[in-house]
């Protein structure tokens, strides 16, 4: 499971060009993994990979559109050149500018686009990388606490992230005997580029109802992901863990 060229295990992080994905990719590199920065935006992805290398880590940018099966196949082919994959962090998703309409006002094209990227995307990437994972291995799917809370005027986003939660449980059942754990992390409203367009009323809702009232930052999440990728989480699978300062409690 180790890249012979670097002596490091390979972790693929999708949507790693900025925001939560970038933070998780940087932490994985700090933890000693070789990181594949899989990102749709070439500028963002190249910048993240370069920053990791400049900090002494090992990283490679690979372009990826999780909505395009051919792009996902190309990712798997390029990653395979360097050897086996230890872990996948399924982070890529459409999130910014998706809210505001009640469920009956969402058009079919918008609904299908979100489901294609947010729900089908994680399945498709895992499907094509699985042959490169010999076990033990780790898959971490990034869901959202919106699917746990039931935020209004976000039905298509909630449905897509609810699908990620269900997919996590199904995959965990199927991959356990292969030594691959599958868990989901459900972040709250985090201060990143993708949430810049979130209405002020939703920010106020989180601020008023968190147990930890301060705004959520990307570095509030990366420690949990680091744990889920590590050896100490080897007996934890099929779980959904919310990181949102106590906005939801289960």
Nearest Cα residue to 241 out of 109, 107, 140, 122:
140
DSSP symbol at 215:
P
Q: Which two tokens stand for residue 119?
A: 């729900």
Q: Is the dihedral of CA 247, 16, 178, 223 positive or negative?
A: negative
CA nearest to 36, candidates 65, 1, 76, 93: 76
Query: Which of the 8 DSSP states describes residue 176?
Result: G
Q: Which of the residues are catalytic?
A: 157
Name residue, tokens 């780790």. 138
Is the torsion defined by CA of 186, 189, 98, 41 positive or negative? negative
Contact assessment for residue 84 and residue 132, using Cβ atoms and an 8 Å cutoff: yes
């Amino acid at each position: 499971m180790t890249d012979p060229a670097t002596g490091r295990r390979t972790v693929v992080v999708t949507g790693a060009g900025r925001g939560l994905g970038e933070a998780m990719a940087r932490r994985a590199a700090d933890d000693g993994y070789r990181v594949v920065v899989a990102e749709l935006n070439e500028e963002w992805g190249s910048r993240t990979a370069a920053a990791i290398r400049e900090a002494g880590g090992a990283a490679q940018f690979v372009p990826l559109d999780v909505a395009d099966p051919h792009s996902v196949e190309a990712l798997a082919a390029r990653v395979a050149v360097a050897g086996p994959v230890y872990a996948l962090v399924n982070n890529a998703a459409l999130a910014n500018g998706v809210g505001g309409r009640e469920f009956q006002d969402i058009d079919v094209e918008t609904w299908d686009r979100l489901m294609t990227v947010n729900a089908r995307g994680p399945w498709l990437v895992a499907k094509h990388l699985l042959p490169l994972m010999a076990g033990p291995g780790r898959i971490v799917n990034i869901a959202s606490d919106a699917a746990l809370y039931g935020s209004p005027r976000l039905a298509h986003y909630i449905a897509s992230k609810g699908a990620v939660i269900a997919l996590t449980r199904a995959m965990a059942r199927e991959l356990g005997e292969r030594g691959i754990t599958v868990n989901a992390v459900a972040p709250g409203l985090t201060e990143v580029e993708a949430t810049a367009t979130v209405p002020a009323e939703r920010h106020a809702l989180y601020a008023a109802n968190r147990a930890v009232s301060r705004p959520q930052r990307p570095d509030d999440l990366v420690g949990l992901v680091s744990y889920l990728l590590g050896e100490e989480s080897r007996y934890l699978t099929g779980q959904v863990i919310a990181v949102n300062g106590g906005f939801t409690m289960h």
